[in-house]
Homo-oligomer: A and B are copies of this chain.
């Protein structure tokens, strides 16, 4: 199945911490990739984003889904 979530970064699990309800997974990403961000136009203009800009893609841990070939 192909999914609409555009950002998939390959990596290796470095650490797994299990709580009662949640788990914290550290993934070491080594391959380069492209990240797509859908932000408001207002934000893009306020930051003056243009091709070539050095930026950071910032993601809250609770938003990351983990995929694995079983």
Residue pair B61, A38 in contact (C-beta under 8 Å): yes
- Tallying the copies of this chain within the complex gives 6
Residues on B with C-beta less than 8 A from A25 are 36-39, 44, 49, 55
A52 CB to nearest chain B CB (Å)? 6
Dominant SS among interface residues on chain A: strand
Known contacts A49-B13, A53-B12; A39 and B67 CB within 8 A of each other: no
Residues on B with C-beta less than 8 A from A43 are 4-6, 23, 61, 66
A-B contact pairs, 5 of them (CB 8 A): A6-B46, A10-B56, A11-B56, A21-B23, A27-B36
A residues with a Cβ closer than 8 A to B are: 1-30, 32-44, 46-70
